[in-house]
Structure 1
Amino acid sequence: MSTRTSQRVALVTGAGSGIGQSIAAELGAAGWAVAGLDLRPPRDAATALMLAADVADADSVRTAVGRAEAALGPIDALVSAAGHYASAPVAEITPEQWTRMLRVHLGGLANTARAVLPSMAERGGGSVVAITSELAIGGGEGEAHYAAAKGAVIGLVRSLAAEFAAREVRVNAVAPGPTDTPLLAADSPWRAPEYLATLPARRLGRPDEVAATVRFLLEEGTFCTGEVLSPNSGAVI
Structure 2
Amino acid sequence: MTVKDGLQGRTAIVTGAAQGIGRATALRLAGEGALVACADIQDCGETVRLAEKDGGRAVAVELDVRHGADWARAVSALVAEHGRIDLLANVAGVVNMNSPDTVVDLTEDAWQVVIDTDLKGVWLGMQAVIPQMIEAGGGRIVNIASMAALRGLPNLASYSAAKGGVVGLTQQAAFEYADRGVLVNAIAPGTIDTPILAGITDEMREANANAHLIRRLGRPEEIAAMVAYLFREGSFQTGLTFPVDGGWAAKGNF
Task: Verify same fold: TM over 0.5.
Answer: yes
Mark the CA change 1:190 to 1:179 in structure 2 (over 3 Å): closer, same or farther.
farther
Asked if residue 26 in structure 1 is aligned to residue 39 in structure 2, the reply is no
Instruction: State the alpha-carbon separation in 1 of the partners of residues 159 and 138 from structure 2.
Output: 32
RMSD over equivalenced CA pairs, Å: 1.6
| Matched residue SS, 2:158 | helix
More moved, 62-71 vs 12-21: 62-71
Instruction: State the alpha-carbon separation in 2 of the partners of residues 75 and 188 from structure 1.
Output: 41
Amino acid at match of 1:155: G
Instruction: State the alpha-carbon separation in 2 of the partners of residues 36 and 225 from structure 1.
Output: 24
Which of 14, 19, 36 does residue 16 from structure 2 map onto? 14
The gaps in structure 2 that reach 5 residues or longer are 1-7, 52-57
Asked if residue 118 in structure 1 is aligned to residue 131 in structure 2, the reply is yes
Aligned length: 232
Amino acid at match of 1:80: N
Which of 75, 83, 91 does residue 73 from structure 1 map onto? 83
CA offset digits 1:84-133 (Å, max 9, x no partner): 01263332211011111111011111111111101111222100000010
More moved, 35-44 vs 84-93: 84-93
Mark the CA change 1:178 to 1:198 in structure 2 (over 3 Å): closer, same or farther.
closer
Which of 197, 218, 229 does residue 231 from structure 2 map onto? 218
Q: Indicate the residue corresponding to 1:159 in structure 2.
A: 172
Contact 1:178 1:190 in 2 (8 A): no
| Matched residue SS, 1:236 | helix
**CA drift at 1:45:** 2.6
Amino acid at match of 1:58: G
Instruction: State the alpha-carbon separation in 2 of the partners of residues 211 and 169 from structure 1.
Output: 20
Moved over 3 A (4+): 188-191
Contact 2:84 2:136 in 1 (8 A): no
Asked if residue 200 in structure 1 is aligned to residue 213 in structure 2, the reply is yes
Which of 118, 128, 133 does residue 105 from structure 1 map onto? 118
The gaps in structure 1 that reach 5 residues or longer are 1-5
Mark the CA change 1:85 to 1:19 in structure 2 (over 3 Å): closer, same or farther.
same
Asked if residue 50 in structure 1 is aligned to residue 60 in structure 2, the reply is yes
Contact 2:191 2:209 in 1 (8 A): no
Q: Indicate the residue corresponding to 1:3 in structure 2.
A: none
Contact 1:33 1:72 in 2 (8 A): no
Percent identity over the alignment is: 38
Instruction: State the alpha-carbon separation in 1 of the partners of residues 71 and 84 from structure 2.
Output: 15
**CA drift at 1:188:** 5.0
Mark the CA change 1:134 to 1:9 in structure 2 (over 3 Å): closer, same or farther.
same
Mark the CA change 1:167 to 1:142 in structure 2 (over 3 Å): closer, same or farther.
same
Contact 1:190 1:196 in 2 (8 A): no
Q: Indicate the residue corresponding to 1:39 in structure 2.
A: 41
* TM-score of the pair, normalised by structure 2: 0.87
Which of 174, 187, 195 does residue 182 from structure 1 map onto? 195
**CA drift at 1:209:** 0.4
Mark the CA change 1:217 to 1:188 in structure 2 (over 3 Å): closer, same or farther.
farther
Q: Indicate the residue corresponding to 1:132 in structure 2.
A: 145
Instruction: State the alpha-carbon separation in 2 of the partners of residues 70 and 45 from structure 1.
Output: 23
Mark the CA change 1:115 to 1:195 in structure 2 (over 3 Å): closer, same or farther.
closer
Instruction: State the alpha-carbon separation in 1 of the partners of residues 154 and 160 from structure 2.
Output: 10
* TM-score of the pair, normalised by structure 1: 0.93
Instruction: State the alpha-carbon separation in 1 of the partners of residues 238 and 203 from structure 2.
Output: 30
More moved, 43-52 vs 217-226: 43-52
